[in-house]
Amino acid sequence: MTFLDAIILAIIEGLTEFLPISSTGHMIIVSTFMGNASDDFVKLFTVAIQFGAILSVVLVYFQRFLQSIQFYMLLFAAFVPTAIIGLLAKDYIDALLENVQVVAWSLLLGGVVLLFVDRYFESNESQADEPSLNYKSAMLIGTIQSLAMIPGVSRSAATIIGGLSQKLTRKAAAEFSFFLAVPTMFAATLKSMYDQKELLLGSEGREWLLLLVGNIVAFAVAYLAIKSFISFLQRKGFKPFGWYRIALGAILLLLLALGVDLQMAG
């Protein structure tokens, strides 16, 4: 992996982590075309730079993270199902991380779902009072979040739709998705670094520098993305993201059908 590769992947991570279009899916696609998708360090890098992205959430919503113990209890309740399912399904998930066809179908089918989300949950936006989450609702959102372990599904899309199913508005559902990213991505980063500790400890420092640069870039780009996403979502809804996912998924499936070897591209 070159430093240019690292910066490109970090920009993509920052732009897509909090949008309902799958950051993991996009990084798999781009690293595949770079020709390094199967490299162990690249796999670690694409997870570890999510830590930089989630730090932007803490900065943007700093006051919310100081509000109450209840806030953290709800995040913990939502995080637990994902953690349990992730540990149980780790080997299966790892096998999917190089499969562009899985990403393509996930993007396409998830895009179709997003076309109908605004209409299906339209009544959420007209509520007089914003309903508050309870532990049961938080755990349900966390369980739905685990679907995003399938590359291309999108953690953001899964958790936002989970929040909408619990009567939250688009804004509140998106913000809870941001908050839930913090423990989820932090745990994923630690787990990936632990799994690859021999690779990191045996490095001469270049890998650590790549991770540092990647996290800084992902942090800066994600900060800007978060600031603009909520207002865009409130004005335009989910349809633009749905059409984008359908188009990208269809293009990938077309390339595969034409015999383009996306697993070895680059």
Would you say residue 118 lies in a domain?
yes
Would you say residue 154 lies in a domain?
yes
Would you say residue 262 lies in a domain?
no
Would you say residue 265 lies in a domain?
no
Buried residues in 143-180 as b, exposed as e (16+ CB within 10 A): bbbbbbbbbbbbbbbbbbbbbbbbbbbbebbbbbbbbb
Q: Which domain holds residue 150?
A: 3-257
What is this structure's pTM? 0.87
Written as six digits, the tokens of 54 are 């989630």
Q: Could you give the number of structural domains in the chain?
A: 1
Would you say residue 210 lies in a domain?
yes
Would you say residue 266 lies in a domain?
no
pLDDT in tens, the chain (266 residues): 889 999 999 999 999 988 999 888 888 888 888 877 677 888 888 889 989 999 999 999 998 888 889 999 999 999 999 999 988 877 777 666 667 888 899 999 999 999 999 899 988 887 756 667 899 999 999 999 999 888 889 999 999 999 999 999 888 999 999 999 999 989 888 888 888 888 777 777 888 899 999 999 999 999 999 988 888 888 888 999 999 999 999 999 998 888 776 654 33
CA distance 239 to 113: 9
